[in-house]
Amino acid sequence: MTCEHRGVASQIASAVPAPDASRDAESLALFRRHPALRSIPRAVLTQLPTPVEPLALEGLPEGVLWVKRDDRTSAVYGGNKARKLEFVLGAAQADRCRRLVTTGGIGTHHGLATAIFARQLGLATTLVLVPQPVTDHVREQLRAMQAFGAEILGARGVLGAALQVIRALARSWLRGERPLLVPTGGSSALGDVGFVSAAFELAEQVEAGLLPEPAEIYVPVGSGGTLAGLVLGAQLAGLRSRIVGVLVTDILPPGPQRLARLANATLALLRRHDASLPATRVEASAFEITHAQLGAGYGSATAAGEDAAARASRAGLALEQTYTAKCLAEIVARLGDGRARAPVLFWNTYNSADPWRHAPPEAPAALPAAIRRWIAA
């Protein structure tokens, strides 16, 4: 769906700094390699490239593990979402959008990132949220979503969320906003362009000698767009690394066939802008997804994840229990029993920026009664 922009509405102006127009297309490795792709609309939200560093964890040999610091994609709100939202919000701006509608768990990083960056660009956000285990981190995420002005709606499950989304879109259309529906996690052919470029960025860093070419790259898998974009990008950029997805969700978990379709849709989009890109295909066999760290389900902490997060903390790296701790736990397990081939790269998709530095001063609206009940329970 497209939408109509009528200027930055005063009710959603905030303390979030405006995008820096000086950070142009040259900041994207994909655009450097394929200049014709600059015709794809992009809202510049990131500071790239993100660093690569050795990660020295207790119990692991020196030099076997590296980390890609995507927790530093943005000083406003880092993590993997900023790379996707650059293209989603770029399309929203090009279509003169006024409101975004998206979904996630009550602690969703994607939802918070969408609210923050949409507000930065003068757009409103509606978040349809479903239950997940309530932790202090989840409560903090909800507080931040409220603080950045997101309209928050509760739904019991996937069907309830779909109904809430339809209602939210209908109300927004009736208000004349012509809203944009953003897929969960920002995972779409358009959003995944950000991680195609991320693979080109990593290839440049390998070529520059900043790290050895990883034998394996590990990334957490929720909606799957990060993995789909990286697999496609690695294929196009000539990286030989095997990319392993660590599944962290039992809510509509993506499988290899679905991710292959997503990657091929992204390639088709890119080739519409630059026909010089190879007319190749990404096969389902390119996707390795492990369920070993899922535990009791989405948002549920595991002993292995807690141990991995503690080791990372002692090495100076902050993780959370829903995504990144479980991903690192799988790396620790595989390096420990010899299943992983070194050097290994951990793609850290967590945010390390403090969003409260840019939070608006006004008091947020009350949470819906259903979400308050979930938290109380």
pLDDT per residue over 145-161, tens digit each?
999 999 999 999 999 99
Q: Please give the mean pLDDT across all residues of the chain.
A: 92
Q: How confident is the model at residue 136, as a pLDDT? A: 93
- Partner residues linked to 135 by β-bridges: none
Confidence band, pLDDT 50/70/90 cuts, at residue 7: very low
Q: What distance in Å separates the CA atoms of residue 350 and residue 309, rounded to the nearest whole number?
A: 12
Strand-pair category, 52-54 with 65-69: antiparallel
pLDDT exceeds cutoff 80 at 135: yes
How far is the C-alpha of 176 from the C-alpha of 223, rounded, in Å?
30
Query: pLDDT exceeding 90 applies to what percent of the chain?
Result: 88
> Which pLDDT score is estimated for 25?
53
Model pLDDT for residues 98-128, shown as the tens digit of each residue: 999 999 999 999 999 999 999 999 999 999 9
b/e code 345-377 from CB counts within 10 Å (16+ = b): bbbbbbbbbebeebbeeeebeebeeebeebeee
Q: Given this model, what pLDDT does residue 117 score?
A: 98
The yes-or-no answer to whether 25-80+188-348 and 82-185 have a common fold is yes
Kindly report, residue by residue over 168-189, the tens digit of the pLDDT. 999 999 999 999 999 999 999 9
Q: What's the CA gap between 295 and 77, in Å, rounded?
A: 28
Give the pLDDT confidence score for residue 364 in this predicted structure. 77
Give the Cβ contact number of residue 314 at 10 Å. 11
Q: Nearest CA to 71 among 63, 79, 81?
A: 79
The share of the chain scoring above pLDDT 70, in percent, equals 93
Give the class (CATH, top level) of 82-185: alpha beta
Distances (CA, A) of 260 to 228, 237, 288, 375: 7, 17, 11, 37
Name, in order, each residue with C-beta under 8 angstroms of 74's C-beta and a sequence gap of 6 or more: 45, 46, 47, 82, 353
Can you give the pLDDT at residue 361? Answer: 84
In tens, the pLDDT along 338-375 reads: 999 999 999 999 999 999 998 888 777 788 888 999 98
pLDDT higher than threshold 90 for residue 87: yes
DSSP annotation string for 149-167: T-EEEE-SSHHHHHHHHHH
* pLDDT score of 294: 98
**pLDDT higher than threshold 50 for residue 199:** yes
The pLDDT tens digits for 36-71 are: 999 999 999 999 999 999 999 999 999 999 999 999
**C-beta separation of 119 from 16 below 8 A:** yes
Cα separation, 326 vs 303, in Å, equals 9
Q: Is the pLDDT of residue 22 over 80?
A: no
Residues 6+ apart with CB under 8 A from 224: 185, 187, 245, 254, 258, 259, 262
8: confidence class by pLDDT, cuts 50, 70, 90: very low
pLDDT exceeds 60 at position 305: yes
Rounded to whole angstroms, the Cα distance separating 90 from 60 reads 42
| 364 CA to centre of own chain | 25
Domain boundaries, the chain: 25-80+188-348, 82-185
Is the pLDDT at 13 greater than 70, yes or no?
Answer: no
Report the CATH fold assignment for 25-80+188-348. Answer: Rossmann fold (3.40.50)
pLDDT of residue 24: 57
